[in-house]
Each structure stands twice: as structure tokens, then as C-alpha cells.
């Protein structure tokens, strides 16, 4: 009887351990953006991620070159499993000024909003080559005098009021 109880406990432990071992790891929470006071937003303050959602290889890197030459900060390019039918710009509603700058680069992009907090703007590319706007915006007024900037991956040194000790 005791042997059956121990055998049942061993089976339950093996089942629980296997489920815990094979469970997917939780994804890290996104780093929220840094809010700064500003009257306007320029293209250099916009962090863009470009994803190819169509069947044309190399499309994301070509759009990356175009946007970098326009002054945008492209932080990532890649593919998405999502099949995109029309060029789509996706970000949070708080990024309204940044979306205006990105959308002005293209002719009739679709705009979608989500609940991200990291300050990035995603461009999802379709199979068709994007049509660029002849006169895109380089600067727009910020909403409520504040902008949301993606934090730097490497900390920027801040000068101290006293000199550092010498070794």
C-alpha cells in the first residue's frame, strides 16, 4: 500500500516536472519609453521597426535604406508571420506625432493602434513595392508638448560635479 502511494507520488512528480520543463518561458516585459518635453518631433527622434509581411525578399532592407536616408532611427528589420495586404503602420495612440512623420513617407498607408509602451513605430510591408510620398514631413508639432522616446540600450555617461578619484 505504501509502495503504491510512493509510486503515485513519483508519477505525479514526473508529470509536474515534465510540464514545468516544457512550458514556454514568459516573454520579458517591454521597456517603457522615456517621456521628454518638446514642442515638435523630428524624424531623428522616431524609432522604427520594419517587418516584411509579403512575399518580396529584401523589401524591409530597401525601406530601411530609404528611411535612414530620410533621418529615421531604424532599430530593427525582419520578417513577420502575419500576411500583410497593404502597407501598415502600427503603434500606440500616444505616438500620434511619430505616426504622422512615418505615414508622410508613404502614399496612403493603413494605420493601426495597439497598446505598446516602448515608443516604437512598426511598418508592416506588403508584397507590393511601397509608394513613397514626394514631399514627406521632416517635423511635426508634438501632442501636449511631450514626446515618447525609445530609451538608449547603452547608458549615456553623466558628468559628475566632483572629479573621480585617481587610482
Q: What is the pLDDT of residues 128-138, one digit of tens each?
A: 999 999 999 99
Predicted pLDDT at 140 = 92
What is the distance between the alpha carbons of residues 62 and 84, in angstroms, rounded to a whole number? 17
Please, which pLDDT band fits residue 7 given cuts at 50, 70 and 90?
A: confident
pTM over 0.85: no
Contacts of 157 (CB under 8 A, 6+ apart): none
Please, which pLDDT band fits residue 37 given cuts at 50, 70 and 90?
A: confident
Contact 109, 133 (CB under 8 A): no
Amino acid at each position: 500500500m505504501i509502495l503504491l502511494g510512493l509510486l503515485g507520488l513519483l508519477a505525479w512528480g514526473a508529470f509536474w516536472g515534465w510540464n514545468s520543463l516544457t512550458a514556454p518561458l514568459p516573454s520579458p516585459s517591454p521597456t517603457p519609453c522615456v517621456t521628454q518635453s518638446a514642442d515638435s518631433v523630428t524624424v531623428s527622434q522616431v524609432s522604427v521597426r520594419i517587418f516584411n509581411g509579403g512575399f518580396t525578399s529584401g523589401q524591409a532592407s530597401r525601406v530601411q535604406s530609404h528611411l535612414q536616408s530620410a533621418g529615421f532611427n531604424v532599430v530593427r528589420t525582419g520578417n513577420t508571420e502575419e500576411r500583410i495586404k497593404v502597407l501598415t503602420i502600427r503603434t500606440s495612440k500616444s505616438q500620434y506625432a511619430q505616426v504622422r512623420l512615418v505615414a508622410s513617407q508613404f502614399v496612403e498607408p493603413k494605420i493601426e493602434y495597439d497598446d505598446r509602451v516602448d515608443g516604437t513605430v512598426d511598418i508592416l510591408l506588403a508584397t507590393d513595392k511601397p509608394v513613397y510620398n514626394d514631399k514627406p514631413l521632416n517635423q511635426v508639432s508634438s501632442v501636449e508638448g511631450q514626446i515618447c522616446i525609445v530609451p538608449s540600450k547603452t547608458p549615456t555617461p553623466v558628468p559628475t560635479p566632483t572629479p573621480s578619484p585617481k587610482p
